Amino acid sequence: MDTIRFLSKSPREVQDHLAAALRQRRRARKHSRQKAAEASGVPAPTIRRFETSGEISLRQFLMLCAPYGDLKRAEALFPELGPTTMDELLATHDSA
């Protein structure tokens, strides 16, 4: 699957992409929705709704990512920020 360009997509398009990507991962492992539900703790009807509409809570989305090894990738969307000013950099250096 091609890498999505988040800046050129609408939130709805990104939502649909994420639903399709997780569905693809589930199918690649030959998991039924029921098996994915058992592995993730997300109810099968919720997985079906997500795959068909893109609608899911953030917590349940992350729970679905976990059995497919994508939780770290989801976390990497917002890496910890480093110092942004010279004062912050110096404060970090002084505390080390």
Domain range spanning residue 18? Answer: 6-95
Over range 1-19, report the average pLDDT.
Answer: 78
- Give the CATH number of the domain where residue 65 resides: 1.10.260.40
Per-residue burial over 52-67, b if 16 or more Cβ lie within 10 Å, else e, is eebebeeebbbbbbeb
Tokens (6 digits) for 11: 């939130």
**Angle of helix 11-28 relative to helix 44-53, nearest 10 degrees?**
130
Q: Which tens digits make up the pLDDT trace of 43-86?
A: 999 999 999 999 999 999 999 999 999 999 998 988 888 888 88
Structure tokens at 37: 């539900």
> Burial level of 47, CB count in 10 A (0-12/13-18/19+)?
buried
Instruction: Summarize the confidence of residues 29-48 as an average pLDDT.
Output: 98
Domain-located, residue 80: yes
The confidence band for 14, taking pLDDT boundaries of 50, 70 and 90, is very high
In a domain, 1, yes or no: no
According to the model, what pLDDT value does residue 1 have?
A: 47
Does 2 have pLDDT greater than 80? no
Q: How many domains does the chain have?
A: 1
